[in-house]
Amino acid sequence: MKKTSTRLADGRELIYYDLRDDTVRDAVDRRPLDRTVTTSEIRRDALLGDAVAVASHRQGRTYHPPADECPLCPTRDGRLSEIPDSSYDVVVFENRFPSLAGDSGRCEVVCFTSDHDASFADLTEEQARLVLDAWTDRTAELSHLPSVEQVFCFENRGAEIGVTLGHPHGQIYAYPFTTPRTALMLRSLAAHKEATGGQNLFDAVLERELAGERVVLESEHWAAFVPYAAHWPYEVHLYPRRRVPDLLALDEAARTEFPRVYLELLRRFDRIFDGRADGGEGPAGPTPYIAAWHQAPFGPAGEPGDGSAVTRDDFALHLELFTIRRTSGKLKFLAGSESGMSVFINDVPPERAAKRLREVASS
């Protein structure tokens, strides 16, 4: 992998990740852009104890542009975009309309390929490995920023999820705090450690799931399953078999095997609703999904127990992949119970979801 860092016309950082070491990236951003001005502010909820990012400047962000005006495509034929070069393998740049900025963190965009009509599932294993390397490199770099406590790499895919740019891409949020979901995991992790005399909750969950009926696929270094208490209609958790706290700690064997396993999972997601085996009606189309990496915070893990505080090494890196589609023609909406009380109601039993995901395995 070759990494080339440059600056866009408004001062934002842009980084090319190339498969070839002899690739030269010297194109200049020729757009007449003013310096980016953001209004990001973190506000704490006194009752819930969580944080809300207030970012009014995002109201003016690019919204569903036509394909020939996509800002994530390369600069070609006189049309200037966010990427000055005429081609790229993987590129990362600071978001022009960030939810987090300055002392409130940082937001980046990750473009997986220059092919506007592709998706992550269309990548080759070599390309997918390059994305993994980019995620890892950005996690390392962002963790060194003084304001950053947790790095979150994720992909939103599909208009149903709320994606406003159709080009295959993901994002990276660098938070100045430990996110609420991670804090809950750390508390459960600490409580289990204390109750069991030092045993690891992530290890126990993985062992239990691999012995059950919700396994979707297994390999030498990775395991994927539908969790016992899945929140979403089709939800898969992907774990490295050797517990590590973050992407940086993955060994080469796990890195090498990841593209094959992850691409297979994504392709199965696109086949879930084929043939209407789910009882739905009408054309399903590509499955909308969210893919989210859970990594240990880089700040203090906290002390969620009486003298039994967990460490970063107690946390287990894992990827959560889920769709809001429950049948080919119906979506799962977060209504009163979910949005008002944070109590999910899942219409698809996790065992049935796992069975369906096994049925659509590649031949």
Q: What amino acid positions are annotated as catalytic residues?
A: 169
Beta pairing, strands 41-44 & 106-111: unpaired
- Alpha carbons 222 and 239: distance in angstroms, whole number: 6
Short-list 107, 109, 110, 111, CA closest to 174:
107
- Alpha carbons 269 and 357: distance in angstroms, whole number: 7
Residues in Cβ contact with 135 at an 8 Å cutoff, skipping those fewer than 6 apart: 110, 153, 172, 247, 293
Residue burial 79-113, b: 16+ Cβ < 10 Å; e: rest = eebbbbbeebbbbbbbbbbbbbbeebbbbbbbbbb
180-195 vs 201-210: helix axis angle to the nearest 10? 90
> How many separate helices (H) and strands (E) can be counted in the chain?
6, 15
Residue 105 structure tokens: 């963190």
Short-list 199, 238, 244, 192, CA closest to 219:
238
Q: DSSP letter for 340, please.
A: I
CA 118, 99, 238: angle at the middle one, nearest 5? 50
